[in-house]
Amino acid sequence: MRQAGFIIGSKTKLVILGAQGQVGRAVAAQAGRRRIAGGALGRAECDITDRAAVARAVAGSGLVVNCAAYTSVDQAEAEVETAYRINAVGAETVATVCAEAGIPLLHLSTDYVFDGASPLPAREDDPARPVNAHGRSKLAGEIAVRERLQSHIVLRTSWVFSADGQNFVKTMLRLAHARAPLQVVDDQIGGPVSPIGAPIISAGRRRSAATSLPMPCLQAVTPRCSRLRPWIIRHRRGVH
């Protein structure tokens, strides 16, 4: 089991899947800061489409956070099958194994499940209408998680940035340093989100502590400027 900055205890408490990605690393770092015991597994240690590998990986844990995903939004149009195999079937596999083992699951999803047509930020219970292959594959994953496992949270986020990985903020900074004229799409509204590790850990702890939650779909985004209605700010004000 790979250690990614947090303590591997005698009994694994938190298992992060897809832990080498941008969000997975943020969750592992946050778990480390809070001294939460657990394991952070990249694709090499646990492929979420491999049911036996998932079962081995999550055995004995108290909470699974699934950050593993196919995230190439444009490429998904040409690789629909791969996107579904990971985002839908992989998610279903993780949820099924968690259900069998009685382990709560926090599953990451995206604002791409919405069409973005509304001028208002989407609520968690608004109808999802994805307009591209990535969004459709992620929505299929959400549905599979809901159907397979009662003890879950689907946490949608968007525009995550951190020092790790590729993201909009880093791209803009790199281009700014190059001092070349910037050409950026102007038909999207989004609020870059950071940090993401803390709300995931906080939501996951709630999930593992409760037998049921009033709203198992949450949205962790930047207030005011997002296609998603933000859960973070309401959480801080104690609404949930």
DSSP three-state, residue 146: helix
Binding-site size for ligand NAP (CB under 6 A) equals 27
> Between residue 114 and residue 173, which ones bind ligand NAP under the rule CB under 6 A?
138, 157-160, 165
Stretch that binds ligand NAP, among 45-53, 170-178, 180-188, 223-231 (CB under 6 A): 45-53
The CA–CA distances, whole Å, from 156 to 30, 61, 174, 220, 234 equal 18, 23, 27, 6, 15
Residues 6+ apart with CB under 8 A from 3: 39, 40
Q: Rounded to whole angstroms, how far apart are CA atoms 200 and 107?
A: 10
Residues 6+ apart with CB under 8 A from 215: 124, 125, 240
Where would I find the beta strands (DSSP E) of the chain?
14-17, 38-41, 63-66, 105-110, 152-157, 217-220
Stretch that binds ligand NAP, among 42-50, 94-102, 180-188, 231-239 (CB under 6 A): 42-50
Using rule CB under 6 A, residue 24 touches ligand NAP: yes
Tell me which of 71, 151, 208, 219 binds ligand NAP, using CB under 6 A. Answer: 71
DSSP three-state, residue 17: strand
At its nearest, how many Å lie between ligand NAP and the CB of residue 238?
25
> Between residue 81 and residue 100, which ones bind ligand NAP under the rule CB under 6 A?
86, 90
Tell me which of 15, 27, 48, 106 binds ligand NAP, using CB under 6 A. Answer: 48
Residues binding ligand NAP (CB under 6 A): 17-18, 20-24, 42-43, 47-49, 67-71, 86, 90, 108, 110, 138, 157-160, 165
